[in-house]
Structure 1
Amino acid sequence: MGMIYAEQVEYMSVETMQQTHESEIKILNDIDKLAIGLDRGTVELSELEAKIDEYIEHVTEHFASEERLMLEYNFPSYDMHKTAHDMFLADLQYATVQWKEYGQIKKIINFVRKTPEWIVMHVNSVDAPTADYIARKLQQSEA
C-alpha cells in the first residue's frame, strides 16, 4: 500500500506536468517502503538515502520546470505559486539539514511522510489551474 496515489490528484492538462507528478508519487512511495524495510532490517541505510537524494533532486527540478513554464506563458499567479514552492523547499531544506548534518534520518522520513497531504492540496488547487492556463496558451499558439 502506498502513501499517495496518482488518482488522488487532478490530471494535468500539460503532459510534462502529469509525468512529473506521477514520478514524484512513485519516489515518495518508494521512500516509504525503504524506510519500513530499514526499520525491519531488510534494507540498507545507503539505499534509503540514495532514494531520498533522488527525491530532493526531483522536487527541485519539478518546481524549477513549473516556474519556467509559468514565466514563459505569463501565468498571472506566478508569484503566489512560486511562494508555495519556496515554502515547501525551505521545509525540505530544514529536514535535509537535520538528516545530513545531524544524522537524524527520521526528520527527513517524517517530512516525506507528511508531504502527500500537501501534494494533493497543491496539485488540485494550484497546479491544476496552472496547467489549464498553460494548456490554453499552448493551444492558442498552435492555432
Structure 2
Amino acid sequence: MTRSPLLHFFTLFSLLFFTPSCQAPKELVYRDFKNLKVEKLGFGASSLKLDVIYYNPNNFGLQLKYTDLDIFIDGNYLGHSSQDYQISIQRLSEFTLPLQINLDMQNLLKNALPTFLGKEVTVKITGKVKLGKANVYKTFPVNYEGKQRFVVF
C-alpha cells in the first residue's frame, strides 16, 4: 500500500507545529518588586502587599492559576502567601504579580530593623505555583534565594 504525499505533508506539519507547544516551560525570571505597602497592621495579624516583576523567557504565553509561597528574610520566617489568580502571561515579556503576604508577627521584629535601615538582606521564597497553557495546568516548585535591599524610608 502506498501512502500519499499529502499524508506525509500533514504528518510533518503536525510534528513541526505541535512539538514546540509540548515543551516544558522555562522557569520564570525574577526581576524586581515595587509598591510595597502595609495593608493591615495588628498584634494578631498583619499583611503586606507588593507587586513582584517577573520575566517569561518562553516563546509561548502562559496562564498563572495559583501560588502557595513561604517567605524568609535572613533565614527567619516572614510570612505566607496563598492566592488564586487568572493572570495571562505574554511570551517573552515582563509581567506583574500582585502578592499579599500574611505576616508572622513573632518573627517580624527580627526582620524589621535591618530591613527598614536599608541593609541588604537574603530573601528566600519557597513553595509552588500552578502554571499552564490552554487550560492545562501543572504545579511547579519555587525555590528562589537572592540579596535584596528594601528602602522603606
Higher relative contact order (CA 8 A, sep 6+): 1
The reply to whether TM is greater than 0.5 is no
**Structure with the higher strand share, 1 or 2:** 2
Largest Rg, 1 or 2: 2
**Structure with the higher helix share, 1 or 2:** 1
TM-score category (smaller protein): under 0.3
TM superposition score normalised by structure 2: 0.24
